[in-house]
């Protein structure tokens, strides 16, 4: 696991939840659980859809902005931060940072390290993160190539990224080279909207890596249930992203497990195997048995 992979590492515990800066030691730091309710309210609105927990921290610059700030206009206390590792890019010389162009494959890897509310600010990365992203892209492409050729893994133990195999979920190949529908010859290679990735994961147990692309026809006429793939292995980053998508969806009202009758009928049946009315009846039966 690399230095940005573990949410419990010391360094990530000192990353500002708002601007992503790795807050230097001996610098003023504000824990979310101990700031005033008004600050928490502004913070939540600024970083949505990123999840905030009481253990998260805020750097002093962001804290000051939040004291003055309004809910409607998010700001960041530090402008040029590498979202991979949290270093300030102002301190590194221009030569040692890399511009992240919209169509470069490294962008898809770095996106996985980027808090969701900062995705639109993603422009540059430090040299170390760029190299790590490049290695991940190389490994992923090599891996997918071998999988699609049906050949044996050729990666050595050292090179093999840790993977999780699912018996329920499948995924598209992580490549920007073609449409995610197998054998599609569509020429366009468009990025897939986040909501679509979430919907397909939720409804079809099919994970679309952030780097995957789609042709115009399939984007406009997505028969998402027809997506096929033999890939059932997930990198830890992909797995974490699936989990956080599910977490976000469950926070939204369409997945209210505490009261499934609030879910849409389709979602309710999909997740708990019965309608909201059936769930209510079952609960009444259970209650009446408990009360006798
Ligand atoms: Zn900050
Ligand atoms: Zn970095
Ligand atoms: Zn297509």
Q: 56 with 29: CB under 8 angstroms? A: no
In this structure, are 111 and 17 located in the same domain?
Answer: yes
In this structure, are 63 and 125 located in the same domain?
Answer: yes
In this structure, are 38 and 125 located in the same domain?
Answer: yes
What's the domain range around 263?
A: 252-290
Assess if residue 153 is contained within a domain.
no
The residues placing their C-beta within 5 Å of ligand 3, an ion, are 179, 181, 184, 186, 215, 218
Assess if residue 92 is contained within a domain.
yes
Assess if residue 243 is contained within a domain.
yes
132 alpha carbon to ligand 1 midpoint, in Å? Answer: 24
Continuous H helices in the chain: 10-13, 37-47, 60-68, 105-113, 127-149, 194-204, 216-220, 236-251, 265-272, 276-290
User: So what's the pLDDT on residue 135?
Assistant: 93
User: So what's the pLDDT on residue 261?
Assistant: 67
Give mean pLDDT, residues 226-248: 86
Ligand lying nearest the CA atom of residue 124 = 2
pLDDT interval class at 285 (50, 70, 90): confident
Number of compact structural domains in the chain: 3
Give the lowest-confidence range in 12-16, 73-77, 80-84, 188-192: 12-16
State how beta strands 206-207 and 170-171 pair.
parallel
As a whole number of angstroms, the distance between CA 265 and CA 205 comes to 18
* Residue 15 in tokens: 């990353």
Assess if residue 20 is contained within a domain.
yes
User: So what's the pLDDT on residue 73?
Assistant: 83
57 alpha carbon to ligand 1 midpoint, in Å? Answer: 9
Assess if residue 141 is contained within a domain.
no
pLDDT interval class at 189 (50, 70, 90): confident
In this structure, are 119 and 222 located in the same domain?
Answer: no
Assess if residue 200 is contained within a domain.
yes
pTM of the predicted structure, to 2 decimals: 0.52
Assess if residue 196 is contained within a domain.
yes
In this structure, are 256 and 217 located in the same domain?
Answer: no
In this structure, are 169 and 193 located in the same domain?
Answer: yes
Assess if residue 47 is contained within a domain.
yes
């Amino acid at each position: 696991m690399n230095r940005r992979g573990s949410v419990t590492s010391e360094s990530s515990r000192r990353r500002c939840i708002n601007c992503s800066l790795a807050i230097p030691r001996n610098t003023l730091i504000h824990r979310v659980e101990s700031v005033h309710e008004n600050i928490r309210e502004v913070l939540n609105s600024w970083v949505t859809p990123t999840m905030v927990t009481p253990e998260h921290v805020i750097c002093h610059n962001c804290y000051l902005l939040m004291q003055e700030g309004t809910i409607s206009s998010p700001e960041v206390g530090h402008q040029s931060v590498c979202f991979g590792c949290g270093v300030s890019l102002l301190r590194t010389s221009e030569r040692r940072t890399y511009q992240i162009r919209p169509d470069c494959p490294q962008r898809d890897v770095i996106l996985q390290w980027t808090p969701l509310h900062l995705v639109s600010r993603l422009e540059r990365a430090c040299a170390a993160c760029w190299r790590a992203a490049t290695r991940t892209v190389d490994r992923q492409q090599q891996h997918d190539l071998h999988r699609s050729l049906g050949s044996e893994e050729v990666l050595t133990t050292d090179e093999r990224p840790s993977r999780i195999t699912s018996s329920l979920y499948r995924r598209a190949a992580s490549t920007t080279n073609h449409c995610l529908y197998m054998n599609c010859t569509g020429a366009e290679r468009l990025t897939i909207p986040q909501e679509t990735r979430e919907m397909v994961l939720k409804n079809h147990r099919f994970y679309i890596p952030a780097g995957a692309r789609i042709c115009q026809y399939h984007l406009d006429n997505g028969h998402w249930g027809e997506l096929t793939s033999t890939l059932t292995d997930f990198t830890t980053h992909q797995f974490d992203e699936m989990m956080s998508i599910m977490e976000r969806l469950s926070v939204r009202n369409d997945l209210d497990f505490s009261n499934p009758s609030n879910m849409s009928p389709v979602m309710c049946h999909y997740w708990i195997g019965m309608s909201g009315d059936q769930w209510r009846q079952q609960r009444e039966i259970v209650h009446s048995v408990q009360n006798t």
